[in-house]
Amino acid sequence: MRYIIVYDITDDNLRTLTSETLKDYGLKRIQKSAFMGSLKKHALNSLLTDLRRMVNVDSVIVFPLCDSDFRNMVSIGKEFVEEEKQDVQFF
Amino acid sequence: MRYIIVYDITDDNLRTLTSETLKDYGLKRIQKSAFMGSLKKHALNSLLTDLRRMVNVDSVIVFPLCDSDFRNMVSIGKEFVEEEKQDVQFF
């Protein structure tokens, strides 16, 4: 299943640790504080466990994104490329 | 339909204008650069027109969020309250 992860994290080190963790799980950065990618159930559960251990006062929200929602996404401004075909990191 | 809007906008004035625009459409802030809410088709089209006029070099991504995806959202850290029942602005 595909997921979008968005976060508001104040501490620089924790924010870096969070983005590195998301990259470790193979997720692609689509904005400064937003990642996207596909995860199997066990990987999602492992990621949630890691994030719950790291994040307390800040906010991380994980959205599943079904195929229909993904197809109907709209990107405005900087071009956003579908992550399966290309590396989505575009800045 | 429910939508999530996430943005990366460098200019302070434009970022404020964007968030004010999203509020004008009745969307609720769920993180500093993320809003959520329900929009009818014509309101979505009007919002997209406004955003395309405002945003060029930055990035705004609009995701539809079907009921199933919404039910399976996971919020870590700061409590995120389902926007239909309460005002989601929690900071």
Task: Assess if residue B33 is contained within a domain.
Answer: yes
Q: Which of A6, A30, A57 sits opposite B34 (nearest CB)?
A: A6
ipTM score of the complex? 0.84
Q: Is B60 within 8 Å of A75 when comparing Cβ atoms?
A: yes
Query: Residue B63: is its pLDDT beyond 80?
Result: yes
Q: Which residues contact A13 (CB under 8 A, 6 or more apart)?
A: none
Task: Assess if residue B24 is contained within a domain.
Answer: yes
Task: Assess if residue B50 is contained within a domain.
Answer: yes
Kindly tell me the burial class for residue B16, based on how many C-beta atoms sit within 10 Å of its own C-beta (0-12, 13-18, 19 or more). Answer: exposed
Average pLDDT per block of 10 residues along chain A, 91 residues long = 96 96 96 96 97 94 96 88 43 35
User: pTM of the full predicted structure?
Assistant: 0.86
Question: Could you give the strand order of the β-sheet that contains A2-8, starting from the edge strand earlier in sequence?
Answer: A28-31, A34-38, A2-8, A59-65, B74-77
Q: Is B4 within 8 Å of A63 when comparing Cβ atoms?
A: yes
Element (H, E) at B60: strand B59-65
Share of chain A residues as helix, strand and coil, in percent rounded to the nearest 5: 35, 30, 35
Chain B interface, best mutation among A28, A66, A76, by max B CB count within 10 A? A76
Task: Assess if residue B41 is contained within a domain.
Answer: yes
Task: Assess if residue A17 is contained within a domain.
Answer: yes
On whether any CB of chain A is under 8 Å from the CB of B43, the answer is no
Residue type, A44: L
Query: How many domains does one find in chain A?
Result: 1
Task: Assess if residue B35 is contained within a domain.
Answer: yes
Range of the domain at B18: 2-71
> Looking at beta carbons, which residues of chain A come within 8 Å of B83?
none
Q: Do residues A9 and A61 lie in contact, with contact meaning Cβ atoms separated by under 8 Å?
A: no
Q: Is B62 within 8 Å of A55 when comparing Cβ atoms?
A: no
Task: Assess if residue A86 is contained within a domain.
Answer: no
How far is the CA of B51 from the CAs of A44, B28, B45, B47, B64, in angstroms? 33, 17, 10, 6, 16
Q: Which pLDDT belongs to residue A78?
A: 82
**Residue B32's domain is classified under what CATH number?**
3.30.70.240
Chain A interface, best mutation among B48, B76, B82, B83, by max A CB count within 10 A? B76
Among B69, B84, B75, B85, residue whose Cα is nearest residue B31: B75
> Looking at beta carbons, which residues of chain A come within 8 Å of B76?
48, 51-52, 55, 59-62
Residues in chain A: 91
Task: Assess if residue A80 is contained within a domain.
Answer: no
Query: Residue B9: is its pLDDT beyond 70?
Result: yes
On whether any CB of chain B is under 8 Å from the CB of A43, the answer is no
